Amino acid sequence: MTDSPTQTRYRVEGMDCASCATKIDTAVRRMPGVSDVAVSVTAGTMTVSHDGASDLAAIEKKVTGLGYAVAPLSAGTAPTPSHAHCDHDHDGHDHAHGAHDHEEHDHSGHAAKDVEGLHGHDHGSTEGPWWRSKKGRLTIACGVALAAAYGIGKLFPALEAYAFTAAMLVGLIPIARRAVMATLAGTPFSIEMLMTIAAVGAVVINASEEAATVVFLFLIGELLEGVAAGKARASIQSLTKLVPKTAWLEENGQTRETPAESVAVGATILVRPGDRIPADGVIVSGESAIDEAPITGESVPVRKGADAKVFAGAINGDAALRVRVTAAAADNTIARVVRLVEEAQESKAPTERFIDRFSRYYTPAVVVVAALVAVVPPLLFGGAWAAWVYKGLAILLIGCPCALVISTPAAIAASLSAGARRGLLLKGGAVLENLGKITAVAFDKTGTLTEGAPKVTDVVGFALSQADVLKFAAALEVGSSHPLAGAILAKAAASEIVPPHTTDATAIGGKGVAATVEGKAMFLGSLQAAGERVVLSANQTAHVTALHDEGKTVSVLIVDDRIAGAIALRDEPRADALVGLEALTKNGVRTVMLTGDNHRTATAIGKQLGIEVRAGLLPEDKLRIIGELQGQGLV
């Protein structure tokens, strides 16, 4: 009986394409004791399965010799005052403003905490600006040497060939070193080897200027690949910033701060108001408005209490919560999202897959053909050696597939940049190549089809005018940082309404806020909370219910025990959303909205935009539905 293999994980820097991954995989797989190797270009990692006798130092040295930086990854895995607003029933969810004190607060110790890497799911570190990276410095040095050689050639023609040869060597020596190491590691026909042979051959046929130029362009192509890969990693790494580094663990009657990755399943943690939730779990005690927009796309905070599920990365609003952890850090919601994105990033574009297959045969074929052209005519047909060797080297230089190396990443980078300038985030070459074949498009709601923040849609006056309703509601919301409060204050500012001063402001957890304004007792909260204070007429109830049915969140204003009015808010569709959806429909493309928002709000937005709706989804649900659409033959 043999022991199960041990897995060791490494961060690998400088890995930019599938060719890099293949070279590393081939080299490490040949090492003694290694049973399996998994290399992820997108994550910048390598996982090696090996037995206890493996020399890990030798494995690291082998990867370093190929030109990559490698380092082992370790195994693993302040309360603010309150001011509540209102809770709004949305398909079974209570939406409430978080508790906010109307006085000035110091949030310095309670901001959401960033993390450099997801627990147990690290990424290759970013290298900063491209000109500071190793590849950037080499490319700049080669470019400067090429420019210097050009100047020397003009001033001293006799030294031109030597100057360009020296400029070529500046860039070629690191390339040749990698080629030799790749050959020793089992990849003799690498692009670096062909580049080296072609450049040396160009010098032999007195084309040193062309040789130096080709090497420089090759380095530019590699640098562009590195920039594109770095941006992909940065986009994934930004997801990990949703999870805090530490958690407040309750243990033996004490609460202590501990690394979030060390919190075990079943442990109880304390989540303070304003903090991000550090782990997936179930609320043991407490009730609070939780902002789940980064996770589910829910446009307004969700009121949750005991036994409700919460997700890592969501923001706790107005009250402390005790949460029982249900998933380890390496398997929480954010970790799963990151894995899904990585898997999507790893899928190759059709052209990339073709180049991979093509290069397996093309590169050695070019070398063989060039050798035959250089050797066969002189040996069999009496040709001049100098002339035919020249022809063979010319074929090798012309046949070098550098154009693919240079043009493919450049074209992808240019397309991604053009999309970014137009507000489009394109996930690599596979997306670009499939754009013309698309028959279905799945959209997120919040921030994609909608503006991403609630806005006041209706101001209803019952006992007061609309202007007065907005004025008093804004007065009650001054000092609140809740999204709904911000929308009411923004509407008042746009209407040039100055909120009057309030006194005796009182937050009522989960219900709303009360205060005295201009000598009158006022309350702003949900329909349910308002109904506990005064009796609403059938007309008033019907009016508010109609607004709810349109997917809107409604806050009711009470002044001196009378229903004064109501304010409705909703995350509204973007101005260009309807035009874009109509254009897709006219071209025969099916459109569907996949959102974590509640069914009522999502359905209302879907009707407004004329799009199919799937609501109440988690990230893995969205991926499943996309798979179902693909199973129906849609692209």
CA of 190: how far to CAs of 109, 142, 175, 183, in Å?
A: 52, 21, 11, 8
* Mean pLDDT calculated for residue range 316-344: 80
The residues, any chain, with a CB within 8 Å of residue 607's CB and separated by 6 or more, are none
Cβ atoms within 10 A of the Cβ of 107, count?
10
pLDDT of residue 210 exceeding 90, the answer is no
Confidence grade of residue 618 (pLDDT, cut at 50, 70, 90): confident
How far from the centroid of its chain's Cα atoms is residue 411's Cα?
22
CA pair distance 251, 244, nearest whole angstrom: 20
The SS3 call for residue 247 is strand
pLDDT of residue 85 exceeding 90, the answer is no
Confidence grade of residue 472 (pLDDT, cut at 50, 70, 90): very high
pLDDT of residue 110 exceeding 50, the answer is no
Instruction: Kindly state the tokens that stand for 300.
Output: 């307004």
Identify whether the C-beta of residue 23 lies closer than 8 Å to the C-beta of residue 66. yes
Lowest pLDDT segment from 101-105, 145-149, 514-518, 593-597? 101-105
Identify whether the C-beta of residue 48 lies closer than 8 Å to the C-beta of residue 59. yes
Lowest pLDDT segment from 144-148, 187-191, 482-486? 187-191
Confidence grade of residue 66 (pLDDT, cut at 50, 70, 90): confident
Quick: pLDDT tens for 213-225: 989 988 887 787 7
> Strands 590-594 and 612-614: what pairing?
parallel
Quick: pLDDT tens for 253-266: 888 999 988 899 99
Q: Letter for the amino acid at 174?
A: P
pTM for the structure as a whole? 0.52
The SS3 call for residue 49 is strand
Identify whether the C-beta of residue 322 lies closer than 8 Å to the C-beta of residue 272. no
Ramachandran category for residue 242: left, alpha or beta (phi over 0 → left; psi -120 to 50 → alpha) = alpha
CA of 550: how far to CAs of 131, 186, 458, 484, 601, in Å?
A: 53, 64, 11, 17, 7
CA pair distance 427, 228, nearest whole angstrom: 11
Mean pLDDT score across all residues of the chain: 80
Confidence grade of residue 83 (pLDDT, cut at 50, 70, 90): very low
Lowest pLDDT segment from 22-26, 44-48, 290-294, 441-445? 290-294
Percent of the chain beyond pLDDT 70? 79
281-285, strands of its sheet edge to edge: 254-259, 246-251, 268-271, 321-325, 281-285, 309-310
Q: Residue by residue, what is the 3-state secondary structure of 87-142?
A: EEEECCEEEECCCCCCCCCCCCCCCCCCCCCECCECCCCCCCCHHHCHHHHHHHHH
Confidence grade of residue 52 (pLDDT, cut at 50, 70, 90): confident
Determine whether 392 is exposed, middle or buried from the number of CB atoms within 10 Å of its CB (0-12, 13-18, 19+): buried
pLDDT of residue 348 exceeding 60, the answer is no
Residue 106 catalytic? Answer: no
Model pLDDT, residue 120: 31
Identify whether the C-beta of residue 401 lies closer than 8 Å to the C-beta of residue 362. yes
Identify whether the C-beta of residue 10 lies closer than 8 Å to the C-beta of residue 60. yes
**DSSP state at residue 447:** I
Quick: pLDDT tens for 508-521: 766 788 999 999 99
At residue 425's C-alpha, the angle toward residues 420 and 430, to 5°, is: 115
Percent of the chain beyond pLDDT 90? 27
Query: Per-residue b/e over 410-419, b at no fewer than 16 CB within 10 Å?
Result: eebeebbeee
Q: Is the dihedral of CA 331, 337, 338, 339 positive or negative?
A: positive
Model pLDDT, residue 438: 87
At residue 303's C-alpha, the angle toward residues 299 and 306, to 5°, is: 140
Instruction: Kindly state the tokens that stand for 224.
Output: 């562009």
Confidence grade of residue 105 (pLDDT, cut at 50, 70, 90): very low
Farthest CA pair distance, the chain: 112
Confidence grade of residue 152 (pLDDT, cut at 50, 70, 90): very high
Nearest residue to 246 via CA among 291, 282, 277, 204: 277
**DSSP state at residue 597:** S
CA pair distance 85, 23, nearest whole angstrom: 59
Instruction: Kindly state the tokens that stand for 320.
Output: 């402390």
* Mean pLDDT calculated for residue range 587-612: 90
* Element of type H or E holding 303: strand 302-304
What's the full length of the chain, in residues?
635
Annotated catalytic residue within 25, 51, 89, 444: 444
Model pLDDT, residue 404: 56
pLDDT of residue 617 exceeding 60, the answer is yes
Look at 498 and 230; give whichever has higher pLDDT. 498
Identify whether the C-beta of residue 99 lies closer than 8 Å to the C-beta of residue 82. yes
pLDDT of residue 119 exceeding 50, the answer is no
Model pLDDT, residue 96: 43
Identify whether the C-beta of residue 519 lies closer than 8 Å to the C-beta of residue 532. no
Identify whether the C-beta of residue 113 lies closer than 8 Å to the C-beta of residue 277. no
At residue 504's C-alpha, the angle toward residues 502 and 509, to 5°, is: 105
CA pair distance 485, 490, nearest whole angstrom: 9
CA pair distance 327, 342, nearest whole angstrom: 20
Model pLDDT, residue 241: 76
* Mean pLDDT calculated for residue range 338-355: 59
